[in-house]
Structure 1
Amino acid sequence: MAKFINLIKLSVGTESVEGLQDWHDRPRPAGEDSTPRHVTRMWPKREAELLNGGSIYWVIKGVVQARQRIIRLDEVVRSDGIRRCGLIFENKLIRVENMTKRPFQGWRYLRPEDAPRDLPEHRSREEQLPPQLSAALADIGVR
């Protein structure tokens, strides 16, 4: 049994995996390193499991399409004084087999056995299908 857990999150406003990579590649404010991150309101209670090999799986246009390894969690306190969690990722997006996912708020835990498999390297360079077609194929189990 795996000793790690993953997260799954909607990438709101993202049109493609390339768009997600563009978001990660944007310059950071002064004082922040260039590591990709996402700041969230809730701190994961299963932090040790996340940091033991977990990834965040990104849902783009209703389809899980990519993942990134989580490398650390940083405390973030903004001007409102509220403590938040900065999820810090490797700067490598790994494409995964398409899997449809209904909308949800925030992030959720994703057990390793429920996560889509990574695409082989040669398939990750293929031109991506339009999101609606990709979702329809995932719905009927075509990978």
Structure 2
Amino acid sequence: MGFVNILKLCVGAESIGDLATWQEENAARWPAGQAVHVTRMWPKREAEVLAGGSLYWVIKGVILCRQRITALERVETGDGISRCAIVMDREIIRTESAPRRPFQGWRYIGPEDVPRDLMLSRDGDDSLPPELERALAEIGLR
């Protein structure tokens, strides 16, 4: 059996730095070394997601990074509706840029359709502005 990934909009984030900052600010609420994202729908392909999948984040219309999914857990949010907590490694792995149109919720994305991971950055490397990342992705250079 292979694995499948999840593609999710990172609503409210302008950059990977915003995602990292939000996760750092909320780290005390989660298990050590983990990050959590709660979503309304439970993946029907749970076994495939847990067989090596990652959550790929779309930031400002472009896939820019991913986090490895380690678990799916049921949570109650106080409104009587059971939701899915996607538990991930805290490490945010930068990927090549890949433009994506807006969508609601999340989508499955197979390993053959995801952008490649970027090499680890060196100290002092700057992130490109989101507009430049998007422009480069649109012409196929990132």
Shift of 1:123: 6.6
2:73 counterpart SS class: strand
Q: Equivalents in 2 of 1:126, 1:142: separation in Å?
A: 18
Shift of 1:27: 3.4
**CA 1:123–1:28 in structure 2 vs 1: closer, same or farther (change >3 Å)?**
closer
Aligned partner of 1:95 in structure 2 is 94
1:33 aligns with 2:20: no
Q: Which runs of 5+ in 1 are unaligned?
A: none
Q: Equivalents in 2 of 1:124, 1:78: separation in Å?
A: 40
Q: Equivalents in 1 of 2:66, 2:88: separation in Å?
A: 10
**CA 1:48–1:123 in structure 2 vs 1: closer, same or farther (change >3 Å)?**
farther
CA contact (8 A) 1:95 1:124 kept: no
Q: Equivalents in 2 of 1:141, 1:117: separation in Å?
A: 13
Aligned partner of 1:9 in structure 2 is 8
Q: CA RMSD in A?
A: 1.9
Shift of 1:17: 0.6
Aligned length: 141
Aligned partner of 1:66 in structure 2 is 65
Shift of 1:125: 6.9
1:27 counterpart SS class: helix
**CA 1:125–1:6 in structure 2 vs 1: closer, same or farther (change >3 Å)?**
farther
1:83 aligns with 2:82: yes
String of CA shifts for 1:89-117, please: whole Å, max 9, x gaps: 00000000000111111100001000000
Shift of 1:54: 0.1
Q: Equivalents in 2 of 1:124, 1:104: separation in Å?
A: 35
Aligned partner of 1:130 in structure 2 is 129
CA contact (8 A) 1:3 1:52 kept: yes
Shift of 1:18: 1.1
Shift of 1:16: 0.8
2:42 counterpart SS class: coil
**CA 1:122–1:79 in structure 2 vs 1: closer, same or farther (change >3 Å)?**
closer
2:131 counterpart SS class: helix
Moved over 4 A (4+): none
TM-score (norm 1): 0.91
Aligned partner of 2:140 in structure 1 is 141
